[in-house]
């Protein structure tokens, strides 16, 4: 929805936070530090999707995405 409205920077930021700041470190932590192996790595995927969902909801409620595509 954000990309379709032209708010591609917001979508990019959400995906960077979800992947680089949440999914990758959490995969490393759960997979290697905690010792859960592949299961811990896979657990980080839905957790990062939940974070992305929450950030997307916040961006939607903010409403700045609606004005992003209008500035031509």
Q: Locate 24 and state its tokens.
A: 């990758």
- pLDDT tier at 45 (50, 70, 90 boundaries)? very high
Average pLDDT over residues 5-27: 92
Q: In whole angstroms, give the CA distance from residue 26 to residue 1.
A: 27
pLDDT tens digits, 18-35: 999 999 999 999 999 999
Place of tokens 């936070």: 17
Indicate the burial class of 23 (C-beta count within 10 angstroms; 0-12, 13-18, 19 or more). Answer: buried
pLDDT for 71 beyond 70: no
Q: Which residue has the higher pLDDT, 1 or 57?
A: 57
Q: What is the mean pLDDT of residues 49-56?
A: 96
Is residue 48 packed enough to be buried (19+ CB in 10 Å), middle (13-18) or exposed (0-12)?
Answer: buried
Q: Quick one: 7 exposed, middle or buried, by C-beta within 10 A (0-12, 13-18, 19+)?
A: buried
């Amino acid at each position: 929805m954000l990309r379709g409205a032209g708010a591609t920077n917001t979508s990019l930021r959400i995906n960077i936070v979800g992947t680089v700041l949440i999914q990758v470190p959490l995969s490393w932590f759960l997979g290697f530090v905690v010792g859960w192996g592949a299961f811990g790595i896979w657990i980080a995927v839905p957790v990062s999707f939940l974070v992305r969902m929450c950030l997307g909801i916040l961006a939607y409620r903010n409403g700045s995405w609606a004005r992003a595509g209008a500035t031509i």
